[in-house]
Amino acid sequence: MAQTLQEVAVAPVMLRCYGRMVPSTRLVANVGKPYRYPSASLAGADWTPTLVGVRDQLQEVVGDELNESLVSYYPDGAAHVGWHRDGGRVQGTPIVSVSLGARRSFDLLSPDGDQWRWGLGDGDLLVLGGDAAGWKHRVPRRAQAGPRMSLTFRVLAGAP
């Protein structure tokens, strides 16, 4: 986690929440292809040596060429991301996430309302494939939590 924080510049992103623009509580950086939220876009920085190493290992696991990584840093339990689903550029491809640091809950919500929760800790790998890649998910607030980072890799379709 410390090496990645030295290699990429994480910062809040402005997001639309209930009709107004607010800064995210998690700090993010994007590497590879540009990534778009409904209300914001992140340019894709150059791949770092650390992220190339992780990406290459994950590509062997999932069998897809991962061309984007969103680095999300949660400095404490107040940092979170609410219910959301990833955009149409990832449909039909896996979303691959490596957790580093403190254990945090990751919630997944199906279109039918079924909900699952996993505690993801240091070194845990989560792969969402098929229809689940488009389901809603979140990392909820937690009263107390140490620093956590997720390295989320995707195959983004379309123009760079």
Distance CA 28, CA 81 (A): 11
151: number of Cβ within 10 Å: 21
Considering the chain, what is the average pLDDT of its residues? 90
Residue type, 144: Q
Average pLDDT rounded to a whole number, residues 4-30: 92
Average pLDDT rounded to a whole number, residues 61-77: 94
pLDDT digits (tens, 9 = 90+) for 139-154: 999 999 999 999 999 9
- What distance lies between CA 153 and its chain's CA centroid? 7
Residue-level pLDDT at 125: 97
Report yes or no on 160 lying in a domain: no
Report yes or no on 92 lying in a domain: yes
**Alpha carbon distance, N-terminus to C-terminus of the chain:** 27
- What distance lies between CA 127 and its chain's CA centroid? 11
Average pLDDT rounded to a whole number, residues 65-71: 94
Report yes or no on 56 lying in a domain: yes
Parent domain of 81: 2-154
Q: Looking at residue 35, which CATH number applies to its domain?
A: 2.60.120.590
Average pLDDT rounded to a whole number, residues 38-46: 86
Distance CA 23, CA 37 (A): 13
Predicted confidence (pLDDT) at residue 86 exceeds the cutoff of 80: no
Percent of the chain with pLDDT over 70: 94
Domain count, the chain: 1
